[in-house]
Amino acid sequence: MIQFEHKKRIVEACYPADKDEAMLLWHDIKPIKFGNFTQWLEVAGENELASYQIPQDADQLLIARVECYTTTFDAAAPGFGQFSPPPNSNAYWAFTDASLTTPDRLTPQVPIHILVDSDELFFAKSDHRITLISDLPAPPDGNARFIRTLIYGYLVGGLVAGKIGDSESTYFGVIS
């Protein structure tokens, strides 16, 4: 249901002139879902929360929603099997075609809650590997924990990208 509602809102954001244009826009949007399930390790540092290779034949990837939670499967650990918010850390989106050590940042590094568990429209160019990276702190105790990240997105063609993505920038700048 979440995919249908997002797709409908994307078409409405394009302000179609009539029903025929709305149908063209509707068929220019292909829903995708990707994510990662990673162990929250004892070592603090940058971690890949989710990654996706954007196909060449898509004009843009539009990220609509990011969900992230932490859980443990250790029966003796506090919070066993319950979903908790992600760790208090920072995160950013980056193109990681070349390497994870020198990514091309798409967003500034911001508190993780700004990028996850929220709805937004974020565009990324095709034919790149996009990655959500977080600088996770060490876990508060020795219990094994896992972080699950799920991204709801859309591969959109030129019709949609031209209507709502033409003023979007996939790169950020720093004023010095």
Q: Is the pLDDT of residue 138 over 70?
A: yes
Q: What is the pLDDT of residue 168?
A: 52
Residue 8 binned pLDDT confidence (cut-offs 50, 70, 90): confident
Q: Is the pLDDT of residue 104 over 90?
A: no
The CATH number, out of the four listed (2.60.40.2700, 3.40.980.10, 2.60.120.680, 3.90.1300.10), of the domain defined by the range 31-156: 2.60.120.680
Q: According to the per-residue pLDDT averaged within each range, which of 79-83, 127-131, 136-140 is highest?
A: 127-131
Q: Is the pLDDT of residue 172 over 70?
A: no
Closest Cα partner for 170 from 135, 130, 134, 133? 130
Average pLDDT of the chain is 83
0.85 surpassed by pTM = no
Q: Is the pLDDT of residue 101 over 90?
A: no
Closest Cα partner for 137 from 128, 145, 148, 129? 145
Q: What is the pLDDT of residue 171?
A: 45
DSSP string, 67-107: EEEEEB--TTSTTBT--BPPPS-EEEEEE-SS-SSS-EESS
Q: What is the pLDDT of residue 71?
A: 87
Tell me the average pLDDT across 153-175. Answer: 68
Q: What is the pLDDT of residue 119?
A: 73
Q: What is the pLDDT of residue 151?
A: 92
Q: What is the pLDDT of residue 166?
A: 55
Tell me the average pLDDT across 97-111. Answer: 81
